[in-house]
Amino acid sequence: MEAEEDCVAARFTKGVYNDKQIPLVPNYKVFFGLELFLPYAFSLAPEFRYTGKCYLGDDKNNNGEKLSDYSLVDILLRYRPTNHKHKLSAFVGVENLFNEEYSTLGYEDFLENPEYNVYYPSPGRNFKAGLSFIF
């Protein structure tokens, strides 16, 4: 089992933006991961990540929209036989299992018109697989 919690107060310490929150740095992040060992050399590893809201890039005054918070769930199935003379392992997994729509990067419009803020989408649900063999 793995767990991590990050509470960050990233602020400017000098100049015009003194004591303003630094854009694109969320105040709060949480991670939780677990590996469940199953029969026949399989294991299942679900992971949960939460990222809090943060100000859009270029919003050094902290008076505009924020990037939305989001939660992601990933799951991985591993196969690692112990009786194989060479080290063999394989996995299949799904990232963003619930197909959450989210953005980790966005910028304020230079005219400060929220209708024209720019957001860069992050990947939806995606699949991965891998195989390793050491001899």
76-101 residue pLDDT tens: 999 998 876 778 899 999 999 999 99
Whether 15 shows a pLDDT value over 90: the answer reads: yes
DSSP state for residue 57 in the 8-state scheme: B
DSSP state for residue 79 in the 8-state scheme: E
Would you state the structure tokens that stand for residue 134, as one six-digit string? 């050491």
Answer whether 101's CB lies under 8 Å from 123's CB: no
pLDDT for position 34:
97
pLDDT for position 126:
98
pLDDT tens digit sequence for 50-71 = 999 999 998 999 998 899 999 9
Q: Smallest Cα–Cα separation from 118: which of 108, 130, 104?
A: 108
Q: How many domains does the chain have?
A: 1
Q: Residues of the chain with pLDDT > 70: what percent?
A: 96
Whether 113 shows a pLDDT value over 90: the answer reads: no
Residue numbers of the domain that contains 37: 2-134
- What integer best gives the mean pLDDT of the chain? 92
